[in-house]
Amino acid sequence: MVASGSADDTIRLWDVASGQPVAKLEGHTAGVLALAFFPDGASLASGGVDKTIRLWPLSGDPKPRVVERHTHHVTSLAFRKDGSLLASGSLDCTLLLGKPGADEAPASLSTRNTPVVCLSFHPEGRLLAAGYTDGSITLWDVDEKREVRTFNGHSGIVRSVAFRPDGSVLASAGDDQRVVLWNAGEGSQVGLLQGHDQAVTSVTWSPDGATIATGSFDKTVRLWEASGAAKEVLSGHAYGVLSVAFCPCGCTVASGSADRTVRLWRIQAPK
């Protein structure tokens, strides 16, 4: 299943096999900017311009639980692998950690007056990467609530961060039209992906960690080897690509665009 959020305030769920919509979730009062599936796939978290986070059950009663923890747009959401924590980032310069659905106040990792744009949990669940508008990336220890290190390599907004499934490499994408690959353990730069000619808005890894997919305001989706070598350019969107994601089997890439479409790209035969 693929989920897409829109400036029309709605969320739509799509069947990957048929490409047809299967549900429409309504409740946000302004555009939806962030989505994250609960690790077991039973629910979906959404955040957006209305400053709220909504937790949607994907079976039974569709009424969402509304969480109000931010004072500005919610730009990013990420679940820890075991589902015990939901991280949220906002233009209010806060990065908050809370138990999904709990009433207790979330913990804050905010240490600077810089808006948070994107988040990604390390596969092991203890580390969280956050990208900021000032071009920096911070790695946090969520158990100890402390900063581990900062990565500096972008000259513009960091739009997307994503850990390789084995946790060894962190990919970051930004307004400087580049994707940087970092050694997650040491913080050193180990690769650079260049080819997009406008801001790179989204980066993601295939489930086996062998392929990277990126989306850009230049209207294209690009596929790369894990080493950083270019593989393929996927063209078809009429406006900028805002988000990309792999299906669980790794055979299909979904891309969402400002042209109001979601496209499904078959990049290899199902295994």
Q: Each residue of 66-104: pLDDT tens digit?
A: 999 899 999 999 999 999 999 999 999 999 999 987 777
Q: Which stretch of 103-112, 156-165, 196-205 has the lowest confidence by average pLDDT? A: 103-112
The whole-number pLDDT of residue 271 equals 54
Q: Mean per-residue pLDDT for 56-67?
A: 87
CB 164 within 8 A of CB 171: yes
Q: Mean per-residue pLDDT for 178-198?
A: 95
Cα–Cα–Cα angle for 51, 99, 8, nearest 5°?
Answer: 30
Q: Each residue of 147-173: pLDDT tens digit?
A: 999 999 899 999 999 999 999 999 999
CB 188 within 8 A of CB 182: yes
CA 28 to CA 25: how far, in whole Å?
A: 9
CB-based burial, 14-49: b 16+ in 10 Å, e otherwise: beeeeeeeeeebebbeeebbbbbbbeeeebbbbbbb
CB 187 within 8 A of CB 151: yes
The whole-number pLDDT of residue 72 equals 96
pLDDT classification of 19: cutoffs 50, 70, 90: confident
Counting residues of the chain whose pLDDT is more than 90, the rounded percentage is 82
Query: How many Cα atoms occupy the beta-carbon half-sphere of 259 within 13 Å?
Result: 16
Q: How many CB atoms lie within 10 A of CB 108?
A: 13
Q: Each residue of 203-261: pLDDT tens digit?
A: 999 999 999 999 999 999 999 999 999 999 999 999 999 999 999 889 999 999 999 99
CB 252 within 8 A of CB 1: no
271 CA to centre of own chain: 25
Question: Does position 269 have pLDDT exceeding 70, yes or no?
Answer: no
